[in-house]
Amino acid sequence: MGLAAIVSALTTKAPAGAMLALALTVVAAVMFTVGWRLAVAHRYTAHRRVQIAAVVLSTAVIAAWMVRSFVLYVAPQIPARLSQRAYAVATVHAVVGVIALVLGIYVVLTALKLLPPRLRFTHFKPFMRSSYALYLLGTLTGVLLYAVAYAGLG
């Protein structure tokens, strides 16, 4: 299947909500990357704002589209269809995404000092790096899921 056929399949077979969710997820991944570069440049106020906005955007997409799709279409088919690529990728995507989301929210709540002191961490780098890596892995598995589900690559 050529690139033109894949692009056509991705834009015509997918529901509008799936296309929007994919686009916003990629935007959030770009925002996380911009935020990381801002931290490297010691622009911590801008870094914090971008990262918080990216977590909020990601959380909104997950709540508005992904949870519903998983609960309605994937979860009822587990474990019977886990041998099918789309269900396996969707399940891996969900697991990685939930871990990334929870860790990302935990980092934001800690950074904003909204958690009790005993629940906060003091060394941000390991938590932020782990969250960023998991988020990117979640984004990659999401793109793969989209390709498998809507471009017939599965």
pLDDT in tens, 18-41: 889 999 999 999 999 999 999 999
91-108 mean pLDDT: 95
Which residue, among 95, 131, 96, has the nearest Cα to 110 in the 3D structure? Answer: 131
- Residue 116 pLDDT greater than 90, yes or no: yes
Query: Considering the chain, what is the average pLDDT of its residues?
Result: 90
Residue 118, judged by CB atoms within 10 A of its CB (0-12, 13-18, 19+), counts as exposed
User: Dihedral, CA atoms, 28, 31, 37, 39, nearest 10 degrees?
Assistant: -90
Q: Which residues span the domain enclosing 83?
A: 3-150
pLDDT value of position 124? 86
- Residue 154 pLDDT greater than 70, yes or no: no
Buried b / exposed e over 61-88, threshold 16 CB at 10 Å, is bbeebbeebbeeebeeeeeeeeeeebbb
pTM of the model: 0.86
Locus of tokens 């088919």: 77
Give the number of domains in the chain.
1
